[in-house]
Amino acid sequence: MKEILIDGVIAKMSGVLSPQQLFALRRALDDELTEFDVTSAPEGVEKARKANDDLAVQFISAKRIEGCSEKTLNYYENTIRAFLDETSKELHDVTTNEIRKYLSDFQAKRNSSKTTVDNVRRILSSFFSWLEDEDYIIKSPVRRIHKVRSETTVKETISDEHLEKLRDTCTEVRDLAMIDFLVSTGVRVGELVTLNRNDIDFNERQCIVLGKGNKERTVYFNARAKVHLQNYLATRTDDNQALFVSLAAPNNRLTISGVESRLRQLGKQAEVCRIHPHKFRRTLATMAIDKGMPIEQVQRLLGHCKIDTTLHYAMVNQTNVRIAHRKFLG
């Protein structure tokens, strides 16, 4: 608590004193407070926490108005509240060093990956930037904390051979339709489970999905997916409007966990490792780029706001890199 007090004084005087004077002030405070125990008054801590909670609620409300999904809002809220639980200060008194220490402790206690720690940093940066924009604080203390660098790993896609294995494993026409729809459209699993029968335009081989941030976009499916979808819908005897439903009565709309579970089961039966809905999306992006589709069009197809996200999804085939090298560089 003593260090927090000293850091607070130094922060408030940083715009008035020179670096040499600030150093001298810190030494003087250290010397004078050596024999004292510094604690926060209970009522002061409670007041700070209430004020911080109110600001967190306002921030989440602002993000909701911007169109963030409830899943994203929950992630933001949980991350911010975890940070607020660790501080007894009002947010305008929080320093850069305190946030650095929080991130360091967060990683050590949870053995978190660098990507996870950077996600926490990014959310706290968004929160404090909002506080700065709304004039609750003078300057965001996260501004000087840079992105946490993490190792770039090449994530797997599904090969043509493995796709055929998955198709051969399907004993239900629904599963065959679902696999080909996923790999030809690249839709998110959350988008897949919200689709209805009347959303599908078989003539144009397209449909409109509701993506992140409640943004609509058009996706397209190939002839194989069209045939399998039509065959699947022709076998349906239920009156549920959902595009994909459970096999057993009462044929409820498939859920995200239901799709994930079924694909894992099919992957295990086909002896294809780590099959999940997102892998089909990554496969589509990689195939599209490998075949020469402009990255801007792939971005539109996947519904990404930033092109960097599309580049992160799409892993360029190493064979194509070798061919391109020989073509352009001899």
pLDDT digit string, tens, across residues 133-173: 999 999 999 999 998 886 666 678 899 999 999 999 999 99
| Residue reference for tokens 């950077």 | 118
**How large a percentage of the chain has pLDDT more than 90?**
57
Closest CA to 282 of 249, 306, 304, 257: 304
CATH architecture of the region 40-133 = Orthogonal Bundle (1.10)
**For 11-23, what is each residue's pLDDT tens digit?**
888 778 888 888 8
DSSP state at residue 90? -
Contact in structure between 45 and 52 (CB atoms under 8 Å): no
Residue 325, pLDDT score: 59
Residues in the chain: 330
C-alpha span between 272 and 163 (Å, rounded) = 9
C-alpha span between 6 and 25 (Å, rounded) = 9
- Model confidence at 182: pLDDT above 80: yes
Residue 330, pLDDT score: 56
Alpha-carbon distances of 197 from 135, 169, 186, 219, 253, rounded to whole Å: 49, 25, 18, 15, 11
C-alpha span between 315 and 323 (Å, rounded) = 16
Maximum mean pLDDT: which of 49-53, 96-100, 325-329: 96-100
Residue 313, pLDDT score: 66
Alpha-carbon distances of 133 from 140, 277, 327, rounded to whole Å: 9, 38, 51
Domain 40-133 identical in fold to domain 160-329: no
Q: pLDDT-derived band of residue 315, with 50, 70 and 90 as boundaries? A: low
CB-count burial class (<10 Å; 0-12, 13-18, 19+) for 174: buried
31 or 230, greater pLDDT? 230
**For 52-91, what is each residue's pLDDT tens digit?**
999 999 999 999 988 888 888 999 999 999 999 998 889 9
CB-count burial class (<10 Å; 0-12, 13-18, 19+) for 65: exposed
pLDDT, averaged across the chain: 88
Contact in structure between 68 and 130 (CB atoms under 8 Å): no
Q: Please count the other Cβ atoms lying within 10 Å of the Cβ belonging to residue 17.
A: 13
Q: To 5 degrees, how large is the angle CA 80–CA 86–CA 90? A: 75
Residue ranges of domains in the chain: 40-133, 160-329
pTM for the full model? 0.66
CB-count burial class (<10 Å; 0-12, 13-18, 19+) for 250: exposed
- Model confidence at 239: pLDDT above 60: yes
Beta bridge pairs of residue 33: none
Peptide linkage before 294 cis (omega within 30 of 0):
no
Q: Please count the other Cβ atoms lying within 10 Å of the Cβ belonging to residue 51.
A: 14
**For 192-218, what is each residue's pLDDT tens digit?**
999 999 999 999 999 999 887 778 899
Between helix 173-185 and helix 256-270 the angle, nearest 10°, is 100
Q: Hey, is 246 helix, strand or coil?
A: coil
Q: Which residues contact 286 (CB under 8 A, 6 or more apart)?
A: 157, 313, 314, 315, 316, 317
Q: Hey, is 38 helix, strand or coil?
A: coil
Residue 168, pLDDT score: 95
4: its two tokens? 């927090």
Closest CA to 14 of 144, 131, 146: 144
Residue 277, pLDDT score: 94
- Say if domain 160-329 classifies as CATH 1.10.443.10: yes
